[in-house]
Structure 1
Amino acid sequence: MGESARGTVPWVVVATVVGCGVVASLQIGKAVIAAPMLKAEFELGLAAVGWVTGIFAVLGLVGGIPSGALVARIGDRRTLIQGLCAIMLGAGLGALSETFAMFLASRVLEGFGFLLVVVAGPAVLQRLVLPKQRDVAFSLWSCFMPAGMALAMLAGPLFGDWRSIWWASASLAVAFIVATIVAIRKSEAPTTSVRVSLVNDAIAVVGNRGPMLLALCFAFYSLMFFALFSFLPVLLMERMEVTHGTAGLLSALATAVNIIGNLLAGHLLFRGAGRSTLIVSGSVAMGISAIGIFLPLFGDTETFLLCLLFSAAGG
């Protein structure tokens, strides 16, 4: 009986894949916590700071289906490794940037790597994890985004400058390139029929009302999420007059609460809650919370509590 059948290797695979996802999402979180430093060094306005993180969402919009096609063409493991390599190169280029144009180009490269990782990761899990373990594996995978962002916001203030953060993130990418090579076995070469099927499936999805409505819901979710968390440390520092380290700690807490929402949603679905009900409830809670956060209606403590509710409901 092989190791996969005994269930030992799949959990190493799960840890590695989730770790790759955390490294990928850390690239978003590091820009959020470094926003005050980037704003000062490159003399940026808030709109430009928004692009530093928002470029990832734009790349996801235009590159999701092509990234899926790449997985089908070269395999999930190779795509995962290529994504981590792009993150490593992008982070290194960003750390060496002397102009904002060069820095933004590095963010595009990082964003491309992020996209490859988040598309390839579930494909690896689907291929290697035993069916009875997939629910748990994908529940853990669903937490990679808030976990990576929270880690970045928690650790970011410990570094002396933003370039050190970028070098550290590049080093983490290198570590998980090695881990992926060691822990994840190669997939079989995809056939031409698989590639053609993917194109047909993509066309079918675009013409299907259900998936497109879900995509629209997630687009609005991303819009709200990035609108708040791209500027949360700046908002806390300017509105609550806290230090950079405290802003990082509070931002990490607000981001980590999203994990609770992820796990609670999984529990409610298991207990029979309707998916549509959860989506509508979460969207309404996020919308109401956002009004209280962005409009000066409440005090500092109440506003931060609304940030926690916003994050949990989003999860």
Structure 2
Amino acid sequence: MAAGSIDTVHQTTHWPAVLAALGAGVVTGAAISKMSPALPLLQSEFGLSLIATGWLVSTFNTIALGSAIFFGLICDRAGALRFCLRGLACVIAGGLLGVFAPSAGWIIVSRVIEGAGYVAVLVSAPGLIAAASAPMQRGLAFGFWGAHMPIGGVAVLLASPVLFALSGWRAVWTGVAALGALVMVFLAFQSRHYTGVHAGAPRSLASIRASLAQPVPWLLGVVFGAYTLQFYAIMMWLPTYLLQTRDTGATASALLTALFVLINAFGNMTGGWFMHRNVPRGRIIAVTFAVTTLAFIGIFADGLPDAARFACVLAYGFVTGNIPPAVLSGGVRYARSPSEAGSIQGLIVQISNVGIFAGPPLIAAAVTHGGGWGAALWVILGAAAVGFGAAIAIARLETRDFARMARRE
């Protein structure tokens, strides 16, 4: 087995087990996305300013920002399946605490607990997918995994208008917690298909240092951070923007945002197909950032009609979907053994969450102090430049690695 890969005893992919791990990701996608349609309601109920609302959104990612690598190391020690189940339990507990929150402060506490579950699932589920899939089909499997966030987001955005009518935003929180409980049961029933991801022996400091010294996982984290800053800037603020500047109404705003997220899921599938066809990940990422930069210029072009600008939003959503499969499959690719998968994923998640954590407040500050929503473009273009530069570096490093392997053969 070549260094930087995870082998498996599976000659064929066990798709129900892949689906169960994907379901865990969908729950976290729903948990993080449920804030988007609920923001206007939370602002009204708790009297939050735009900037305060931005920090409320980012609170979900405080755990990931500060300790995702540590979570990954725990995952390597405890076993991916056990850690994923515990992560789902945290998402459920945090969601139920939010249901009974009497103030914005308690919402923040509940989001921190949910955030811990989110990190636990993100560092463990990719290892489960790799364990349940055949080597030649992992690119496709990670294409589905890359779609876990938009699938969860679409589910929340489509269900939220109905649930809002029943019991406000708290009905959405309850629904996500119930979904998490169902997925926990499904995941537990698939446990026998996750080979090689059980609890491992403690790793030496030298082993941890060697796995984290690889440059490409760090660059993948930077790429994912740039991606998440852009993506969540659109997903989180689009309903608020439509309500405040276009008076579209809560239902129409949620549905338009759901369409954007759904298009992104199809883009994830396309990215998985590119990985299945062995297109170099650095090339995929660099081209994606270049094309989406053009889309963003169209989105913020005041001279374009609203229909054309929203078409640019959808184009961005589809094209940028190439990035998650390229990044997340890379995390497994650079784990030298199953016992390292969690720590590598944790590294990528921790770096990437800088974008999720900083993005909404940066956008809110740009809009508040920059004279309107158009000022957000400069934050987004800055992220694109960072992501493009990291992609070029990844392409060069992987070309060098492939050349070395060819010489050895």
TM-score, normalised with respect to structure 1: 0.89
1:153 paired to 2:160: no
Residue number in structure 1 paired with 2:261: 255
Distance 1:268 1:87 in 2: 32
Could you say if the C-alpha distance between residues 78 and 268 of structure 1 is closer, same or farther in structure 2, counting changes exceeding 3 Å?
A: closer
What is the Cα deviation at residue 72 of structure 1? 0.7
**Consecutive aligned runs of 4 or more in structure 1 exceeding 6 Å deviation:** none
1:192 paired to 2:202: yes
Aligned amino acid, residue 118 of structure 1: L
Distance 2:207 2:302 in 1: 48
* 1:110-259 matches, cutoff 5 A: 110-159=114-163, 160=165, 161-185=168-192, 187-193=197-203, 196=205, 199-205=208-214, 208=215, 210-259=216-265
Contact 2:79–2:200 (8 Å) recurs in 1: yes
Contact 1:67–1:116 (8 Å) recurs in 2: yes
1:290 paired to 2:299: no
Structure 1, 264-273 or 136-145: larger mean CA deviation: 264-273
Aligned amino acid, residue 281 of structure 2: R
5+ residue gaps in structure 1? Answer: none
Residue number in structure 1 paired with 2:353: none
Distance 1:250 1:105 in 2: 30
Could you say if the C-alpha distance between residues 46 and 285 of structure 1 is closer, same or farther in structure 2, counting changes exceeding 3 Å?
A: farther
Distance 2:53 2:303 in 1: 25
Contact 1:95–1:166 (8 Å) recurs in 2: yes
**SS in structure 1 at match of 2:34:** helix
TM-score, normalised with respect to structure 2: 0.70
Distance 1:151 1:246 in 2: 15
5+ residue gaps in structure 2? Answer: 1-8, 322-409
* 1:80-91 matches, cutoff 5 A: 80-91=84-95
Could you say if the C-alpha distance between residues 31 and 213 of structure 1 is closer, same or farther in structure 2, counting changes exceeding 3 Å?
A: same
Could you say if the C-alpha distance between residues 111 and 37 of structure 1 is closer, same or farther in structure 2, counting changes exceeding 3 Å?
A: same
What is the Cα deviation at residue 298 of structure 1? 2.4
Size of the aligned set, in residue pairs, is 307
Aligned amino acid, residue 215 of structure 1: G
Residue number in structure 2 paired with 1:101: 105
What is the Cα deviation at residue 211 of structure 1? 3.1
What is the Cα deviation at residue 202 of structure 1? 4.7
Distance 1:96 1:221 in 2: 33
Distance 2:17 2:276 in 1: 24
**SS in structure 1 at match of 2:65:** helix
Contact 1:91–1:167 (8 Å) recurs in 2: yes
Distance 2:25 2:77 in 1: 21
What is the Cα deviation at residue 217 of structure 1? 2.2
